[in-house]
Amino acid sequence: MITVLKEMQIPGKIVNLINMVSQHNKARIKLNNEYTEQIEVKTGIKQGDPLSTILFCTVMESLTGKLEIRRNLTTRLK
């Protein structure tokens, strides 16, 4: 994701901020009404984070550009 943002020439300050919010996250799992110990989440963006949609679209735009898709994906896969 960070690589794609840099390739798309997103300003470094924004890339650094996105990188900061996507690292060092911790989570606990509720199981039988009790929580587990915290675990470090090493990849991804938090579910429901407003950035997730924007980042998904940005990465997909980069991917489709690299695949040179002009019309629709199914015509290129046949």
Q: Where are the domains of the chain?
A: 2-77
Q: Which residue has the tokens 């997103």?
A: 10
51, 42 in Cβ contact below 8 A? no
- CA dist 38 and 58 (Å) reads 31
Give me 58's structure tokens: 């940005």
Query: pTM (2 decimals)?
Result: 0.58
Q: What is the pLDDT of residues 2-37, one digit of tens each?
A: 888 898 899 999 999 888 888 878 889 999 999 999
Residues in the chain: 78
Q: Alpha helices of the chain — where are they, by DSSP H? A: 2-7, 12-21, 50-66, 73-77
Give me 24's structure tokens: 């060092």
